[in-house]
Structure 1
Amino acid sequence: MNSCNRFRLHLVQFITGAVFLLMATNQALALRCTALSGDDRYSVLNTVQAMHQAKIQNQGPLITVFEIGGGDPAMNGSFLYLRIEHNDQVFVWETGLNVRSMQQLSTGPGNTIVIRAKEDFLDGNNMIQSRGVAYKISFYLKNDILEDAISIEKSTVPPRSVK
């Protein structure tokens, strides 16, 4: 194998390793709150479109939902990130929810949060329409310690009408 082909082989192996490393790092950052350094700590603030907060009971967790821009602004475009702070523990989750906008954040029974939002969809004529949706997010406390897990499901709470 000549030196040019050896170089290409090593370059492909290096790039493949770097891609796998970035993928693993990205997955870890989606689950834990990690402080950003330098100018990066300010650049993320440029994409926050709105912030919503709720508190569960007097001594309960502080809930914050961030609407983060970056999606298609013509259809939905706000990605929802959930931050829960309780007893000196803080976790941040990328929920995977992509909505037009949040309408309301409220607490439900037990350790649940209800998010009411406005969501765009394509109708039968491929026209963009909006509708109200609601999602229930459950989080978990074990011996008053926040666990690093949530579950998300469409809520049975009827969404408000969308104008």
Structure 2
Amino acid sequence: TLVARPLFTGLHNLLVNQAIVPGLSNRSRWLMHNYVVRQSLGFFNNDFAGRIANRVMQTGTSLRESAVQMVDALWYIVVYTGSALWLFAQADPWLMLPLLIWLVVYVALMAFFVPRMKARAWIASDARSKATGRIVDGYTNISTLKLFAHAGREQAYVRDAIDELAVKHRGQTRVTTTM
């Protein structure tokens, strides 16, 4: 255990950080970019360039994080629960009962919370992209804004998006806290 655990942790980190993180994230971004550039001109006219770019960049990271976390979680559940069940069965099969009950409750809670978390995460991500889009587009057109825009309205426009992001993010973290 003193040698095996650090060795396997190092191998896991090497695999995730050197192969999966750069490869999967950037592959996803490339595929998203290729999909987005094939859209009509109306698609680009109806949204912020910064928001679209933010979605392309975020999607790669989100997909990679979701995949790695899912594999890690399933691996730990299988190894630790399987090991505990095996050890309990060796000592006394009745010891397995509390762990099996816990496992059923855990799966039920995940079945309840994960869809809600997914929905809230999507809403928060959309609000984050909206805020980023407004900020990036403001910076992109800063000369025009400084010459012709009303500073208070432009600030309120960005502030509304940031306030909306805070509300949506609180909704997401509320589900996380409840879990």
Same fold (TM over 0.5): no
Larger Rg: 2
| Length-normalised TM-score, structure 1 | 0.29
Higher helix share: 2
Q: TM-score, normalised by structure 2?
A: 0.27
**Whose relative contact order is higher, 1 or 2, with alpha carbons under 8 Å and at least 6 apart?**
2
